[in-house]
Amino acid sequence: MTKPVGKPDAGKLHVRFDERGEETERAPSASPRLSSTLLKRQKNDATDAEAICEAVTRPNMRFVPTKTVEQQSCLMLHRARHLFIRQQAAVINSIRAYLAEFGIVAPVGRRGVEQLLEVVADTADYRLPEVARACLTALGSQLRALKAQILEFDRHIIAWHRSSATSKRLDAIPGVGPALATALVASIADPKAFRSGRDFSAWVGLVPKQNSSGGKDKLGSISKQGDRYLRSLFTAGALAVIRYAKIHGTGHRPWLTALLARRPTKVAAIALANKLARMAWAMMARNERYNEPAALAA
């Protein structure tokens, strides 16, 4: 005997359990964005069910692959870490802004924040009133707690990365580190759901946005669709590769050398991020290892 868990809805995970509580079935779910386009004027349970039934019968309907418990846990780890990083930036900006009101500024960077916290801890400094010092001391304690928690999240990500064979294979790609490798493994339940690396790159949002008509192709900026977190990690990895290439020379990467010669750095970074995304998909879908280009091997 099986029983459905939760209310059936598009885009949600449908799991069935037996009498012992063990999972017996995982039903694929449809994207709610695609089914919402078929919704009629009024929104209620009846029209929602009608739109879902009509959407899933279409031949070109795309379904959302369900993730495992481990993948969901890893994604939660990434999301929590990203939230704490945003909170850390907000606290740092608040400390700098409050101290600037009293004419106390410091250079941009980690050392500058430490210098400001040293000023706050110095009770002999007459420039800060006691009330302001108490508020800034509380913000400093909050900042240290956030940094400690982010480091703890980093240790969990590294541990998860070392336990995943696919994540370790992706780590060999230049510009792909443990953070991006684990995020890819956790976000993509089935790499073969994408027909090609171009489809995967379009899903991430790293392809140009089209406004073509009358047989004339007109491409604009990137679409920025899909997973914003993955797109930011791919872009950061591409910028790191370009930064390293500018310091140590780009002679061993002729494609990147020619691209940087005719395009700005950030435009080249997006193109390189697109290439990294297609390489990562190929390695995941075909269960392959990273092969260095011929120019690099030489």
Note down pLDDT in tens along the chain; length 298 residues.
444 444 444 444 445 555 555 554 555 566 666 666 667 677 788 888 887 777 778 777 777 778 889 999 999 999 999 999 999 999 999 999 999 999 999 999 889 999 999 999 998 888 999 999 999 999 999 999 999 999 999 999 999 999 999 999 999 999 999 999 999 999 998 898 899 999 999 999 998 888 888 888 888 788 888 889 999 999 999 999 999 888 887 656 788 888 888 999 999 999 999 999 999 999 999 999 998 776 555 4
Distance between the two ends of the chain, CA-based, in angstroms?
62
Distance CA 153, CA 189 (A): 22
Long-range contact set of residues 20-23: C-beta below 8 Å, sequence gap at least 24: none
Torsion of CA 237, 192, 61, 49, to 10 degrees: -90
Q: Which of 279, 292, 284, 291 is nearest to 197 (CA)?
A: 279
Q: pTM here?
A: 0.79
Instruction: Give residue 244's Cα distance to chain centre.
Output: 22
Q: Which of 237, 223, 221 is nearest to 272 (CA)?
A: 237
The pair of structure tokens assigned to 45 is 């349970």
